[in-house]
Amino acid sequence: MLAEMERKRFTSAEYHEMTAAGILDENDRVELIEGEILKMAAIGSFHAACVGRLTRLFTSVFSDRVIVWVQNPIRIGEYSEPEPDVALLKDRPDFYEANHPKPEDVYLIVEVADSSLGYDRGFKLPVYARSGVGEVWVVDLDAACVEAYSQPSKNGYKLIRRGYKGDALALESFPDEFFNVDDILGRDDL
């Protein structure tokens, strides 16, 4: 007879205690999702370049209207603290020094995916939707596509838009600001 094993879910507080105790190093590439400490994939040059392009684009367009939050934690409930590639946050004078941003502080989360596409869609998107993050973009590097998810619900995102090279996408929170998919993915002619 096989015994059914119960997993220990870690809280965000316990996760931070592990860093303070030296069990986890702040340079470890891990994140807390639904109480599990998961190792993140290594960042390749195509992925890093895309994050760099997004950071430049968002910073130039939004200037001092939002905080561009790059590969930093978002506190989502007691059991999740993902580190999206880029997030656009409500401006706050302390830059969230007092505590990590929460879903209500987020305009947009962007996950850049090549080897992590299944993880981003299968694990992180449902967490973001259940917590009420209003919009998430998944940049699918292999398909040269930006997937824009909005209208969160407990069962996932109700609206999915896809942009390919030659297309432009606007954020739900800033409908007058358009971003060319070519500028996100990079140009073939460079």
pLDDT tens for 69-120 read 999 999 998 999 999 999 999 999 999 999 999 999 999 999 999 888 888 9
pLDDT at 26 over 80: no
- Do 81 and 15 meet the contact criterion of CB atoms below 8 Å apart? yes
pLDDT at 67 over 80: yes
pLDDT at 189 over 60: no
- Do 125 and 151 meet the contact criterion of CB atoms below 8 Å apart? no
pLDDT at 129 over 50: yes
Q: Per-residue pLDDT tens for 42-54?
A: 788 999 999 999 9
Q: What was the pLDDT predicted at 65?
A: 94
Three-state secondary-structure class, residue 113: strand
More confident residue, 158 or 190: 158
More confident residue, 19 or 146: 146
Q: What was the pLDDT predicted at 188?
A: 65
Name the percent of the chain lying above pLDDT 70: 96
pTM above 0.85, yes or no: yes
Average pLDDT, the chain: 91
Task: Report all structural domains of the chain as residue ranges with CATH numbers, in order of start.
Answer: 42-185 (3.90.1570.10)
Structure tokens that stand for 123 in this block: 């694990």
Q: What was the pLDDT predicted at 190?
A: 46
- List Cα–Cα distances, 166 to 29, 38, 64, 93, 136, in angstroms: 34, 35, 28, 37, 20
- Do 40 and 31 meet the contact criterion of CB atoms below 8 Å apart? yes
Query: What average pLDDT does range 13-41 have in this prediction?
Result: 86
pLDDT band of 1, cuts 50, 70, 90: low
Spatial distance between the Cα atoms of 14 and 123, rounded to a whole number of angstroms: 21
Q: What was the pLDDT predicted at 116?
A: 83
